[in-house]
Chain A
Amino acid sequence: DADVTQTPRNRITKTGKRIMLECSQTKGHDRMYWYRQDPGLGLRLIYYSFDVKDINKGEISDGYSVSRQAQAKFSLSLESAIPNQTALYFCATSDLRQGGGEKLFFGSGTQLSVL
């Protein structure tokens, strides 16, 4: 099945450590996104990319960076993790040809805990 795969599924790290979350997709979609979800705050956009050479900041990009290594791969880095980055992180994809691009397909999420 065409899918959006995130690794790792869970990660516990310490304050100050560098962390990379990875996302790969087999859907052939051009657009990829990183969201974080915090209890009571809903989903918030961190970064998005409409193609390999396109990177855009979202609502809450401070403290994060991304890399679009290929159409199918989009990674999120926390250069120096801090406790308030503890959250559930989602990668998502969309395709302009399907519903205008706002119909998102989500990965299963990465639960990150920063101690």
Chain B
Amino acid sequence: EDKVVQSPLSLVVHEGDTVTLNCSYEVTNFRSLLWYKQEKKAPTFLFMLTSSGIEKKSGRLSSILDKKELSSILNITATQTGDSAIYLCALAAYSGAGSYQLTFGKGTKLSVIP
């Protein structure tokens, strides 16, 4: 069974701090790893990492996939109060006949205080 474990489960930082969120996984047939941000209700897509694209960056956010260590990190530099959200990690794994399934972690709740 595929597993996704995120750490920490919650985190409180001050504006301007840099944070690193972790996602480790166990998978039989890796396809991709995705990060989402959930602010109020709907999760929104941040990054997708694959074997051919192990590092992504967008503004203050960046993410790296380490296939050897079976993990990924999401970095946020110079945090702002608007970064307060739950960050979800999801693993896409092949499940046979060319199909695949997404398994989500429980999320990391980030709170950025002024």
List residues of chain A with CB under 8 Å of any chain B CB: 4, 40-45, 88, 90, 99-109
| Complex interface: chain B residues within 8 A of A42 (CB) | 88, 104-107
How many A-B residue pairs lie within 8 Å, measured between CB atoms? 48
What are 15 contact pairs spanning A and B, CB under 8 A? A40-B106, A42-B104, A43-B104, A88-B41, A90-B42, A101-B100, A102-B31, A102-B48, A102-B92, A103-B45, A104-B34, A104-B102, A106-B43, A106-B44, A107-B42
| Complex interface: chain B residues within 8 A of A4 (CB) | 42
Secondary structure of the B side of the interface?
strand
| Complex interface: chain A residues within 8 A of B31 (CB) | 100, 102
Give me the 9 closest cross-chain CB pairs, A-B, nearest first.
A43-B104, A106-B42, A102-B92, A42-B106, A109-B41, A42-B104, A108-B41, A108-B42, A106-B43
Secondary structure of the A side of the interface?
mixed
Q: How far is the CB of B112 from chain A (nearest CB, A)?
A: 21
State A107–B45 Cα separation when bound (angstroms): 12
Q: Does B20 contact A (CB under 8 A)?
A: no
Q: Which of B43, B90, B107 has the most CB of A within 10 A?
A: B43
State A42–B106 Cα separation when bound (angstroms): 4
Please, what's the 1-or-0 string for B18-44, where 1 marks a CB less than 8 Å from any CB in chain A?
000000000000011010100001111
State A16–B95 Cα separation when bound (angstroms): 35
Contact of B48 among A41, A90, A99, A106 (CB under 8 A): A99
Q: Does B77 contact A (CB under 8 A)?
A: no
| Complex interface: chain A residues within 8 A of B43 (CB) | 43, 90, 104, 106
Please, what's the 1-or-0 string for B76-114, where 1 marks a CB less than 8 Å from any CB in chain A?
000000000000101010000000111011110000000
State A101–B102 Cα separation when bound (angstroms): 10
Q: Can you name the residue of chain A whose Cβ is closest to the Cβ of B1?
A: A59
Is the beta-carbon distance between A41 and B106 smaller than 8 angstroms? Answer: yes
